[in-house]
Amino acid sequence: MPKSMTLRLTDEQAAELEAVARVENVPIAEEVRIALAEHIARRRRDRGFQARLKASIKRNQEILDRLAST
């Protein structure tokens, strides 16, 4: 199920996004989805991000384990 979100942009960002979407002949929402997909793909390849992600997962798992044992 799609999720709606509100995104606050500066006037300059909004104008540039609209221009890119117009040139690409796609809706603004599609241009945002493309940018997000590319950003997430870069994060998946980023070793530093992956290390921070694994540390976060470990910390959260430890908290969940403590909550489950009480």
pLDDT per residue rounded down to tens, the chain (70 residues): 889 999 999 999 999 999 999 999 999 999 999 999 999 999 999 999 999 999 999 999 999 999 999 7
Q: Tell me which residue has tokens 């489950």.
A: 68
State phi, psi for 47 to the nearest 5 degrees: -65, -40
Instruction: Report if pTM > 0.85.
Output: no
pLDDT for the residue 49: 98
- Please report how many Cα atoms fall inside a 13 Å half-sphere around the Cα of residue 31, on the Cβ side: 16
pLDDT for the residue 5: 92
